[in-house]
């Protein structure tokens, strides 16, 4: 959810991924890093709920859809 870094309200303001590079949450090669960041996130539950219907990326520490292969 790193791409939400510009949102400063609600639960996203407490996200552990705030300010992290976006690609960490969308590329397969970074999945372990993303999950490590998510593991300590205080809004993991909210993020997981928000990402239930997402087709791309890691939400709540879970890859919800496609993650791009390394290029």
Q: What angle do CA 66, 37, 10 make, to 5 degrees?
A: 90
Least distance (Å) from ligand SF4 to the CB of residue 4?
A: 8
Question: Of 27 and 38, which CB lies nearer to ligand SF4 in the complex structure?
Answer: 38
The number of helices, as runs of H, and strands, as runs of E, in the chain is 2, 2
Query: Taking the complex as a whole, how short is the minimal distance between the CB of residue 39 and ligand SF4, in angstroms?
Result: 8
CA gyration radius, the chain: 11
Interacting residue ranges for ligand SF4, rule: CB under 6 A:
1, 15-17, 25, 37-38, 41, 43-44, 47, 58-61
């Amino acid at each position: 959810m790193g791409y939400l870094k510009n949102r400063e309200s609600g639960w996203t303001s407490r996200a552990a991924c705030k300010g992290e590079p976006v690609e960490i949450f969308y590329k397969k090669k970074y999945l372990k890093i993303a999950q490590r960041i998510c593991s300590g996130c205080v809004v993991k539950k909210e993020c997981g709920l928000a990402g239930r219907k997402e087709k791309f990326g890691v939400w709540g520490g879970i890859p919800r859809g496609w993650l791009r292969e390394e290029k």
